[in-house]
Chain A
Amino acid sequence: MPDAPDRIEAPGAPVCAPGSAMPGTVIPTTVDQFLNWFREGSIWYLLFATACCGIELMQAGGPRTDMDRFGAVFRTSPRQSDLLIVAGTITYKMADRVRLIYAQMAEPRYVIAMGSCASCGGLFQRGYSVVPGVDSIVPVDLYLPGCPPRPEALNDAILKLQQLIRKEPWLRQVRGKA
């Protein structure tokens, strides 16, 4: 994510500072809110279970902590997913595949590093074959601690991600990135 611009230029409106009540700034913000409300309500995550956390990822879609409530359903193809939940340890052999999967996802895309292994290598960082944190391969939006995190924690991470999306000035930035 690039930094938020300190000056907002709305088309057909005078240039003005953010936060001021100029009419030109109001319209894009509202459209953003409108779009983000829909975008946050439809986070399709990739079914990508690498290790122990994968079981809790499945449980999170199960009856007790139903992620489908937030519109988060799993897709099996990375092309159609918005969210990559790296659920578990990533080894060097796997690392290239994770990069590939991330590259295959369509913008805007988000990454949750689920569990301590994905966040920093966790218990296995002394091992010779484990990537110490998935953030050295792909950019991570949210770190979720725990070994493994509970499904409730994953639900919370989805809600946090929704807050993240809600704040995004989509019209100006995310679209430009794509």
Chain B
Amino acid sequence: MLRLIAQRLQSWLNLPGETGAVLPALAVMLGAALLAFVFIAFFAGPVTWWERRVAGRVMSRIGPNRVGPQGVLQWLADGLKSFLKEDIVPAAADRPLFLFAPYLFFGGYMATFVVLPFGAHLVATDLSVGLLYLIAISGLVVVGILMAGWGSNNKWALFGGIRSAAQLVSYEIPSAFSLLAVVLATGTLSMQGIVRAQGGWPWEWLLFRNPLLFGMFFVSFAASLAENNRTPFDLPEGESELVAGYHVEYSGMRFLWFMFAEWGNLWVIASLATVGFLGGWQIPGVRPEVIDQSTGWAFAGWQALSFLVFAGKASMLVLFAIQIRWTLPRLRVDQMMIVCWKYLVPLALLGSAGVLVLVALVPEGSPVDWFLRAVSLGLGLWLIIAYVRKARAAYLADREPYRRLEGKDPWYPPYRLP
């Protein structure tokens, strides 16, 4: 049976060579896909639990803590339960579109993992046009959402689908332009090339290369939040407006694909920002050549270390996105468009043009370059310090009423729930 498929595939694709050579290749592909799926599941799954725990903390609740120790297996429970649920296809739905949409959506997300460099050599394939590929392949998500919105034959879903199409297509522009600035500064489209053009220390990151790139990071991050339908741009699935948006008619497993891709995408946008601006997997004080030349256990150790560095940076950004989600309200659809076309697009255009000028005029390592780096590093430090000070002051002010109460009367919650 398998051999027959292989033969047909071979003749169909017009591949040269023996039939026997295709079969192992097919098996390897299947195995790799499974491996990738499991790998991606471990990225997308726990972040749902993490998000719910962070949301619980933000809301002075607790969040899921029953399935597994502290609820870490919550995502497995949600996933398995969804698999066991009935799969409903509404009678009025456009059947092929309805059935296919989740896979397209999921595929668009999964394909981005091909070029993401998680470590010094932990990358599926380092395409020379990696960034271009990533921007292009994530366009599949729009098609999936539109298909889901249209195919459900539900007006709320249609609203969600159309909103999403407008939003994603619009925000592709500032996103692409801000990444263009990265390409201009590094001179390469390859993801590994972009990482290797930076260094381990913060002042070697693109984020702190010059003040313009510093600004472009925020443009890029905001645009990717919008592309991932995260608050404050969660209009396509705004729960209080569109019930559940484009996936309102999906149940069970098919709904799971949407959720899966949505949370996994959180990692993708965080990884993209890490690679583009935060120096990727670069370990402070270690040149990439050292890793390249190492062998054996040392090689494996460096890989693991670089992966940890990468994951640490990316998870900080994921945490940032989660906090934004549970803090801000949602924009209206026209405001969302205004933010894109009136602010982000011009900013991204001007920014990338400015980066081009700076790259052309200021050679790397010159005093002006160091001055620009110092300015942007100072800017970043000031931002962090101001944020921490403000957050601390707000925290102290809000804690005071509680302390006043708790000090007086032990009858008073907040007690911790089991």
Residues on A facing B (Cβ under 8 Å): 35, 37-39, 41-42, 62-66, 68-71, 73, 75-77, 79-80, 82, 104, 106-108, 170, 175, 178
Contacts and interface: CB of A to CB of B under 8 A. Distances in A.
Given A70-B64, A71-B66, A170-B84, 12 more contacts: A38-B80, A62-B61, A64-B413, A66-B56, A66-B417, A68-B62, A69-B63, A77-B244, A79-B249, A80-B247, A80-B251, A108-B85
Nearest to B74: A71
B239 A76 contact: yes
Contacts, number: 101
B220 to A, nearest CB: 31
Contacts of B52: 68, 73
B250 A63 contact: no
Contacts of B56: 66, 68
A79 B255 contact: yes
B85 A69 contact: no
Contacts of A68: 52, 56, 61-64
Given A76-B243, A77-B248, A79-B248, A42 B61 contact: no
Nearest to B75: A42
Instruction: For chain B, give the interface size range.
Output: 35 or more
Nearest to B248: A77
Nearest to B157: A77
B414 interface: yes
B84 A82 contact: no
A42 B251 contact: no
Interface string B61-91: 1111111000101101110110011111000
Given A39-B84, A77-B244, A106-B85, A71 B77 contact: yes
B253 to A, nearest CB: 10
A38 B77 CA distance: 4
B67 A106 contact: no
A158 to B, nearest CB: 11
Contacts of B66: 41, 69-71
A106 B251 contact: yes
Interface string B374-418: 000000000000000000000000000000000000000110010
